[in-house]
Amino acid sequence: MDATKRYELEETIKELEGYRGRHTELISVLIPAGTTLTQIGRQIETEKGTASNIKSKNTRKSVMDALERISRQLKLIERTPENGLALYCGNVSSVEGQEDIQIWSIEPPKQLKTKLYRCDQTFLLDPLKEMVETEDIYGLIVIDRKEATIGLLEGKSIKVLQHLTSGVPSKVRAGGQSAARFSRITEGLAKEFFRRAAEALKNHFFENKKLKGILVGGPIPTKEEFIETGNIATALKNKIIGVKDMGNTDEYGLRELVNLSQDVLAEQEVTKEKKILDEFFMTLAKEPEKIAYGDKDVEQRLKEGMVKTLIIAKSLKRERIKEFEALAAQTSSDVHIVSKETTEGMQFDNLGGVGAILRFAVA
């Protein structure tokens, strides 16, 4: 799913989540790929008969009107879309006793597998929410002989899962201990710490079906010792896709690990977003005549067909984003929607939240 489709679906989900029926008058109809609309139409007619028995006059009317609206919508569609269809309809009026029947017809970007009819106070959105969940999830661990921090990179978000300490003493020996004995003690404690860290890694990631890879960071040679002697579960060891030299092993170290691993994370959202914004700001610094930013300037360049790459911040109003996307589609401009979750994203948002890299310089 590209960023534009993801954004549109996320915004629709947010809108639908904001509605709450005064009674059970919000209808969700999920139609899986391959289901015939005739079959669904018959089911809706059956539900009309059931709805006629609702005791509350207002609720009965709202549900009946919503079912009629769904029935009309189904007749407008020739066949079930390739990925299925999600219909949401009901009285969304916030005023008691007033009716405002609205309908949303959504062709999901991924195959809908759930068949469902539900009439409730809220719309059933879980199947759509699953579609916008980040697919690329990476495990993170930064480790030295004194501590380790385990985290998760999900989209652009880094989450700390666990922090461990080893208890391995510093290089200064306790009084009376020989160098050989002290070395044996510290090596034993280090191995035990590596074992605990590997066990923690297993607890957090072994059952995670979405885990795409694991990144390991730490000083030389500690991280290599951990990988080789820490008894990491084979399935997780095979998922290690990047090992980076670094000093920090705390929460900041997780962020440093992600920054150092951009070669590995080339297709990860945080890196893709940073890459396009880096290109925008680099061009702005070196060739400002090939950049447009701000609402009016970018709109004008789009209308002139000069925009190669359009960048839009999620903070822009949804309707304005749609307008920019429509203009971009007319001249086959690439479109990227970015968040404020990165430093570059915040800087871009401060420029007005819309910018463009042009096909050629403007005098």
CATH number, domain containing residue 87: 3.30.960.10
pLDDT for residue 89:
97
Give the pLDDT confidence of 73-96 residue by residue, as tens digits: 999 998 999 999 999 999 999 888
pTM of structure: 0.68
Q: CATH number of the domain that 235 lies in? A: 3.30.420.60
Are 262 and 281 within one domain? no
Domain termination residue (choose one: 100, 132, 164)? 132
Backbone angles phi, psi at 162, to 5 degrees: -165, 145
Q: Does residue 278 sit in the same domain as residue 258? A: no
Q: Above pLDDT 90, what percent of the chain? A: 75
Within-domain flag for 16: yes
Residue recorded with tokens 């993801």: 6
In a domain, 295, yes or no: yes
Domain region containing 284? 270-358
Residue 171 banded pLDDT, cuts 50, 70, 90: low
**Which pLDDT tens digit goes with each residue over 295-317?**
999 999 999 999 999 999 999 99
- Give residues with Cβ within 8 angstroms of 284, minimum separation 6: 291, 293
d(CA 106, CA 261): 37
Same domain, 128 and 21: yes
Confidence of residue 187 (pLDDT cuts 50, 70, 90): confident
Shared domain check, 61 and 12: yes
Q: Does the N-terminal peptide bond of residue 32 adopt cis geometry, omega within 30 degrees of 0?
A: no
How high is the pLDDT of residue 215? 97
Output the domain CATH number for residue 331.
Answer: 3.30.1330.30
Number of domains in the chain: 3
In a shared domain, residues 41 and 152: no
Q: Which residue has the tokens 């990227």?
A: 336
pLDDT exceeds cutoff 90 at 185: no
In this structure, the answer to whether residues 287 and 354 fall within a common structural domain is: yes
In the chain, the N- to C-terminal Cα span, in Å, equals 37
- Residue 363 in domain: no
pLDDT score at 257: 96
